[in-house]
Amino acid sequence: MVFSLESFLDHLNKEKNYSSHTIIAYQNDIKSFINFNRNYLKDKSESEIEYTDIRSWIGVLSDQNLDHKTINRKISALKSYFKFLIKIGVRQDDPMKIHHTLKTAKRAMTPLSIQEMSLLLDGLDFPKTFQGMRDKLILELLYQTGMRRAELIQLQINDIDLNLKTVKVLGKRNKERLIPLTKSICDALDMYLRARRTCFTAETNQLFLNNKGNILYPQFVYNLVRKYLTQVTTKKQIGPHILRHTFATHMLEGGANLNATKELLGHSSLAATQVYTHSNIAALKKVYQNTHPRKNRKSN
């Protein structure tokens, strides 16, 4: 299976234009089944795998106390893999065609309030060091642009245009988009770049570096965001994505056009953006009551 897996990952990279982050996720999820096959199924060939084998794997994943969302993600990766095997002629049939997605409980993420964001960015005392400057800038960029964690990590210095006040972001499937920047964040970026040149002499175009001058990794950014958010909120679901969620919610509540917000977020469809219109029903009701022309009409 390893040979076909390498071909599949190459297919995702060259034909699907998936990001390296997505490809690694696919690789890890499919390797989970490969390890199961090796340990429990006596290393069946790819053409011999049956749906009963996959059901047994799902059972093992459930026994590991993985939630249904995680298991569904792994199954989705395996589905794509078997479709690829059919495409290249390794298999004639799809053993997963009768599989039904596991039900998941919908957990609505609650955005941070404007007051919480003000406390985070204006109320906390960040250290007057390179680390403190970098940490605050990361939080500002995630909230002011709505970019994803992976997008922030791979930012290059030349993606920033301080004159035009824009940042070029490489999103999913290598789709580029330009996001406008405020003057304040451009000033912060300028100060950060000066400090970065002073602290690190190594020639790298990567925008954000850790304390040792190395490229950031996903867990680093996750831990950084949690470190500061725990100081301003008691919400449980806190991480880089809540800042993206908060950006979208605050933009829409402030009157931003849904299509414009979609472009800023880098969504491929409006359906993905519309979820943020449901995040604060109280605010929507208030807008409705204040603007609908028949709001004061009494029924007969």
Identify whether the C-beta of residue 279 lies closer than 8 Å to the C-beta of residue 110.
Answer: yes
Q: Is 241 an annotated catalytic residue?
A: yes
Catalytic position from the list 74, 91, 136, 148: 148
Return the pLDDT at 107.
63
Q: Are 48 and 23 contacting, i.e. CB atoms less than 8 angstroms apart?
A: no
> In the annotation, is 73 catalytic?
no
Residue of 18, 143, 228, 276 marked catalytic: 276
**Whether the Cβ atoms of residue 72 and residue 101 lie closer than 8 Å to each other:** yes
Cα(201)–Cα(213) distance, integer angstroms: 9
The question of whether 194 is a catalytic residue gets the answer no
Q: Which residues contact 285 (CB under 8 A, 6 or more apart)?
A: none
Q: Give the residue among 184, 144, 178, 149 at the shortest CA–CA distance from 161.
A: 178
- Told to judge if 297 belongs to the known catalytic residues of this protein, a careful annotator would answer no
Which residue reads 């190459």 in tokens?
10
Among 68, 165, 177, 241, the active-site one is: 241
Q: Which of 244, 245, 250, 262 is catalytic?
A: 244
Q: How far apart are CA 49 and CA 221, in angstroms?
A: 39
Q: Determine the Cα–Cα distance for residues 149 and 223; give it in Å rounded to an integer.
A: 12
pTM for the model stands at: 0.65
- How far apart CA 26 and CA 82 sit, in angstroms, is 13
98-157 pLDDT tens trace: 888 887 666 667 899 999 999 999 999 999 899 999 999 999 999 999 999 999 999 999
pLDDT digits over 176-215, tens only? 999 999 999 999 999 999 999 999 877 789 999 998 899 9
Q: How far apart are CA 240 and CA 223, in angstroms?
A: 9
> Encoding tokens for residue 81?
């893999």
Give SS3 for 165. coil
Using the predicted structure, report yes or no on whether residue 284 has a pLDDT greater than 60. Answer: no
Residue 91 is among the residues annotated as catalytic for this protein = no
All structural domains of the chain = 2-87 (1.10.150), 114-287 (1.10.443.10)
Residue 34 neighbours by CB under 8 Å, 6+ apart = 1, 2, 5
DSSP 215: B
Q: Is 244 a catalytic residue?
A: yes
Amino acid 257: pLDDT: 87
- Catalytic residue selected from 44, 172, 226, 235: 172
Q: Write the pLDDT tens digit of every residue in 24-82.
A: 999 999 999 999 999 989 899 999 999 999 999 999 998 888 888 899 999 999 999 99
Among 91, 136, 149, 267, the active-site one is 267
Beta bridge partners of 156: 206
